[in-house]
Structure 1
Amino acid sequence: MTEQTKDAATAAANTEFVELTAEIVAAYVGNNAVPSNELSQLIHDVYKALATAVSGGAEEKKEELKPAVPIRRSVQPDHIVCLECGKKFKSLKRHLRTHHNMTPSEYIEKWNLPADYPLVAPNYAKARSELAKKMGLGQKKKGKAA
Structure 2
Amino acid sequence: MRLDDSLKLAGQLLAAHMQTTAVPEDRIAAVLHALHKDVLRIQSGSYAAWQDELPPLDVLDQAEIERITPRSYPPPQHPLAAPEVAIEDKIAGTVHHDRVECLECGKGVTLLKSHLLTSHQRMSWAEYLDRHGLPEEYPATSLDHAAKQSASQKSHWASKAKGREGAGDAATTTPEGDDQEKYGLVSPAFGRGAGRDDVDGALGRTG
- What TM-score do you get using the length of structure 1 for normalisation? 0.52
- Larger Rg, first or second structure (1 or 2): 2
Residue number in structure 2 paired with 1:105: 126
**Relative to total residues, which structure has the larger helix share, 1 or 2?**
2
Query: Structure 1 residue 117: deviation in Å?
Result: 0.6
Structure 2 CA distance for aligned equivalents of residues 130 and 11 of structure 1: 60
Is 1:130 the counterpart of 2:130? The answer is no
Superposition deviation, residue 19 in structure 1: 4.3
Which of 101, 118, 132 is matched with 1:81 structurally?
Answer: 101
What is the distance in 2 between the residues matched to 1:87 and 1:14? Answer: 52
Q: CA RMSD in A?
A: 3.8
Contact preservation (8 Å) 1:78, 1:123 = yes
Query: Residues 108 and 11 (structure 1 numbering): CA distance in 2 closer, same or farther, change over 3 Å?
Result: closer
Counterpart position of 1:40:
none
Identical counterparts, % of pairs:
26
Return the alpha-carbon distance in structure 1 between the equivalents of residues 101 and 118 of structure 2. Answer: 16
Partners of 1:14 and 1:78 lie apart in 2 by 62
Q: Which amino acid aligns with 1:67?
A: P
1:87 deviates by: 1.6
Q: For the structure 1 residues 13 and 120, does the alpha-carbon distance in structure 2 shift closer, same or farther, using more than 3 Å as the test?
A: farther
Give 2:77's aligned residue. 68
The separation in 2 between residues aligned to 1:131 and 1:26, in whole angstroms, is 49
| Structure-1 residue corresponding to 2:57 | 25
Query: Match for residue 15 of structure 1?
Result: 47
1:96 is matched with which residue? 116
Q: Which runs of 5+ in 1 are unaligned?
A: 1-8, 32-45, 47-52, 54-64
